[in-house]
Amino acid sequence: MDRHIGMLVNTQKKGALDMACRLIQWGKKKEIPILLPPHEASILGVPATTDDIWKTMVNFTVVIGGDGTFLRASRYVLNHSIPLYGINLGHLGFLASGKPEEAESDLEQILRGDYALQEHRILEGVIWREERRKHTLYALNDLVLTKGAFARVITIEIRIGNRYFNTLPADGVIVSTPTGSTAYALSAGGPIVPPHVPCMVLAPICAHTLYARPVIVGERDIINLIPRGSHRDLMLTQDGQLGYEILPGDRIELSLSHTKVVKVIVLPQRTYFDLLHEKLKWGQGIVRYEDKE
């Protein structure tokens, strides 16, 4: 069976480009084709594979960069069943969890089949304007409704399905997947949710009320956000990378997609809870007392 590794790279980082060159040379020595789409190939000066062919040929893809690169990669492969493995050259790296010094050994382990696939649910958002579908968005981490540059509170009506839930005066609101629970939602006081737990997190941003708290919403629920008032400087951001203008009276319908997932390669020696322990420094600096016999 032919083995083809795809590669997606943060071309703005010299370290990522150096790592990509290193792995391309490793692939040549191992006689394992590493395929790059046109943008990455032009920067690295190697032969390119067209997007359509790339998406049909690769068995899995190594993503070199940080979590932002991983989020872009997830949108790139969203309609194709291509597992992703991230090598982290960013900061925390909850998505891109591989270590640069172990890159070659990790890829060899994956090629041996010594890994598991973890399906990460995708958030689907539909912007309705005058009851017409304006945009349909997909996000691995979150969709966030926020005010613009002016320091004005916005008022957001929240409905779960057709039932009224709350009217929230706030700087904005985050709706995240479990994957995104360690991103923006965490900084807004939301809970950490493992990727295999099917739910959504609804987290207010700087709510102007004492009673607003993050809420866990079920996997089959539908969240509707409706901005009220005349505030026109509103934005819906997709994974913190793409933005869409929101007008008063628009309705943003949010749910977990039932047709789209992102497949992430997980190595048995590097579990999600190991990652939390490492990245969040849990338990470090705490004195441990042992019972004396």
Task: Show the tokens assigned to 253.
Answer: 């319908």
Q: How far apart are CA 241 and CA 68, in angstroms?
A: 8
The token duo for 97 is 């969890």
Pairing assessment for the beta strands 172-176 and 199-205 based on DSSP bridges:
antiparallel
Between CA 146 and CA 153 the distance in angstroms is 10
Residue 142 annotated among the catalytic residues of the structure? no
* Active-site residue (options: 18, 51, 67, 142): 67
Residue 97, number of CB atoms within 10 A of its CB: 25
CB contact at 8 A, 56 and 241: no
Distance CA 155, CA 180 (A): 24
- State the Cα–Cα distance between residues 112 and 103, nearest whole angstrom: 14
CB 225 within 8 A of CB 200: no
Beta bridge partners of residue 25, listed in sequence order: none
- Catalytically active residues are 67
